[in-house]
Chains A and B, each alone.
Chain A
Amino acid sequence: MSAPGKVMDIDEVVGSLESGMTIGIGGWGSRRKPMALVRAICRSDLTDLTVVSYGGPDVGLLCAYGKAKAVVAPFVTLDSVPLEPHFRAARQAGAVAFTEYDEGMFMFGLYAAAHRLPFLPTPAGLGSDVLKVNPHLRTVRSPYHDGPEDGGELIAVPPLKMDAALVHMNRADRRGNAQYLGPDPYMDDLFAKAAGRTYVSCERIVETAGLLKEGPLQSLLISRSHVAGVVETPGGAHFTLGEPDHGRDERFQRLYVESASDPEKWAAFRDRFLSGDEAAYQAAVRAWREGER
C-alpha cells in the first residue's frame, strides 16, 4: 500500500478551519507567505482568529478583513516597504490584540511547541518592555549555577501552540512531503511541527521520485508526517517573494500599500483583485500587469 494522497483544493483547506482558532502562518515578512490561502480565509466567513506569524501582508490582509482578533508576532513588515498599512490601522484603531515578542523569543516559542516542551529559556527580551506588555511571561534560573556570570534570570518562553499552520513551499508531492528551493527555509518546518495540523500550498506538485531532481536532499524541509493537506497554487505566494520561482512583485506591493491609504482606493482594490476566487485573483493581476506595460 502506498502513503495516502493529501491533495486538496483551497476551499477544502479553509473549510476545515473554524472561527476562534489559532492559526500559524509561515514565511517571513513579505517572503514566501501562503497568500492564496490567506486570500481564501478573507473570502470565508471565519472570524476571531489568533494569527501567529513573522508578520507581513498575511497579517495585514487578515486585519483588513476583520478576521484577526489577535496577532502574535515580533514584527509586521513588507520588507521593501517597512510598515504594513492594514496592521498599523488595526493597531491604531484598537481593533486587534497584540502579543509582541522579540524575534528570538518567538523562534523559541516555535521550537518549544514543535518539541512539546513547556518552555525554552533565553536572555532575549530581558530588560525590555516586552516583559511589561506580556505579563504572562515568567522567568527561570539555571539549576546548575546561580552566579552573576550566568546572567541569573532567563525568560521561560512558553510554546506557541497552534490549531493549524499554513505554509507555502516551492514543491511538494501528493503525500505532503514539502521542499523549499530558495536560500532561506524561514521557520516553516517549525510551524509544521508546532501545529495540530499543517496545510502546505506549493508552486507545483511533483512525483515523489522527482523531488530530488528539483533540489538537494537538504531542501526536503517538511515531512509528510506533519502535513494534513497539500494544495497546488502556482503564484500562491504572490505578491511576496517566492524565489527561485518568482521574486517579490514590488510594483503590486506598492499598489497594495497605496490602496490602503484611503477607503475608496481600498474598496477598488478589493473589488478588482480580491472579490473572486484565486483564479480570478491571478487573472486580475495578469491583466493589471498588461495594463502597466
Chain B
Amino acid sequence: MSTGTATRAEVCAAACADLFRGDGEIVAAAVSGMVPALGARLARLTFEPGLLTTDGGPLLTAEPVPLGAPAGDVEGWLPFRDHLWLVLNGRRHVVLGASQMDRYGNSNISCIGDWERPRSQLLGVRGAPGNTKVNTTSYWIPKHSRRVFTEKVDFVSGIGQDRGAHDLRAVVTNLAVLDFATPDRRLRLRSAHPGVSAEEIAESTGFDLVIPGEVPETRVPTGEELRIMREVLDPRGLREREVPS
C-alpha cells in the first residue's frame, strides 16, 4: 500500500499517535473526538505498547479496540471518579478540545462573550483546569481557524504556559502540528500537513504564530499504520467524518 495515499484524517491520527511517543505505561485519555482516540490506539498497537486505552467509557481494554466497538477483554476499570483521582495521580496524558486558544495555550470551552451573561454558553470548564494543571495535556482542533486561535480567550478553562500549565505537549489540527518549543513557550508551527502551506496556517491563526524559516512536513503514516487504521481500528471510517479531506 502506498503511503502517498493517506487522507488528511489519517495524517492527523498518526500525528495524534505521535503525541504519546515515550509516554510508557500511562492512561491515554483521548476525550475530545474520534481522531485522538484512534491515535492513542494506533500508538499502542505500534510503537507505544505499554499505553492504557479505554473503550470510550469506563473500561480499560485488554487490547486496543476499534472505534465504537465493544471493549472485549477488560484489564481495568476507570469510572469517572477514578479518572478524576488519576488526574491528581498524574499517570495520564489527556487530549482535550478547545473552542478558543491563545498563543500561550490558554484554552476555553466554557462560554463565548462575558461570563456573567455569555453570548454563547458552551460546555463549562469540565476537567480542563485540573487536567492542564497536573497532567500532560495535548489538544485536538479539527477545524483550524481564526475563531479558535485568537489573541485572547474569553474564559480560561485550560491553563496555558503563562499560567502554570504542567506540560503542554502539542496541538494537532486539521492543518498542522503546533508546539510550544520557543524560548518564551509561545505556540510555534512544528509541521504543516502535506498539501498545506505555512501561509494558509498563518492566515488561519488569529495571532502571530511562530513560524520557522524551514517548515517541516508532518510525517505521513507508514503503510502498516494505514493498514491498522483502515482494516483494524476504524474500518467504518469515522475519522473521515471528523476531518473531511
Contacts and interface: CB of A to CB of B under 8 A. Distances in A.
B181 interface: no
Contacts of A130: 125, 129
A93 B119 CA distance: 9
B128 A102 contact: yes
Interface string A60-86: 000000000000011111000011000
Contact of B125 (A75, A92, A186): A75
A196 interface: no
Contact of B80 (A28, A101, A125, A133): A28
B87 A183 contact: no
B216 interface: no
B81 A185 contact: yes
Given A124-B133, A183-B59, A102 B164 contact: no
Interface stretch (B151-159, B168-176, B233-241): B151-159
Nearest to B153: A129
Secondary structure call for the A interface: loop
B206 interface: no
B121 A129 contact: no
Interface in B158-190: 158-159, 163-165
Contact of B115 (A74, A125, A126, A133): A133
Nearest to B115: A133
Nearest to B109: A75
A87 interface: yes
Contacts of B134: 123-124
Interface in B12-60: 57-59
A91 B80 contact: no
B118 interface: yes
Contacts of A133: 115
B163 A107 contact: no
Interface string A32-66: 00000000000000000000001100000000000
A76 B125 CA distance: 10
A104 interface: yes
B110 A125 contact: no
A74 B126 CA distance: 5
A59 to B, nearest CB: 10
Contacts of A73: 124
A76 B124 contact: yes
B117 to A, nearest CB: 4
A184 B58 contact: yes
Given A83-B123, A88-B121, A92-B117, A129 B155 contact: yes
Contacts of A75: 123-126
Given A77-B123, A123-B133, A183-B59, A128 B128 contact: yes
Interface residues of B, number: 39
A105 interface: yes
Interface string B186-222: 0000000000000000000000000000000000000
B58 A183 contact: yes
Interface in B74-110: 77, 79-81, 84, 87-88, 110
Interface string B123-161: 111111110111000000000000000000001111100
Contacts of A206: none
A90 to B, nearest CB: 8
A122 B84 CA distance: 11
Contact of A185 (B57, B79, B129, B165): B79
B156 A127 contact: yes
B120 interface: yes
Given A92-B119, A103-B80, 17 more contacts: A74-B124, A76-B123, A87-B121, A91-B118, A92-B118, A92-B120, A102-B130, A103-B130, A122-B130, A123-B88, A123-B134, A124-B134, A125-B130, A128-B157, A129-B155, A130-B129, A133-B115
Interface of B: 57-59, 77, 79-81, 84, 87-88, 110-111, 115-130, 132-134, 155-159, 163-165
| Pairs of residues from A and B, 6 with the lowest C-beta to C-beta distance, nearest first | A124-B130, A75-B124, A128-B129, A127-B163, A91-B121, A127-B159
17 contacts: A74-B125, A75-B124, A76-B124, A88-B121, A91-B121, A92-B118, A102-B130, A103-B84, A104-B84, A123-B133, A124-B134, A127-B133, A127-B164, A128-B159, A129-B125, A133-B115, A185-B79
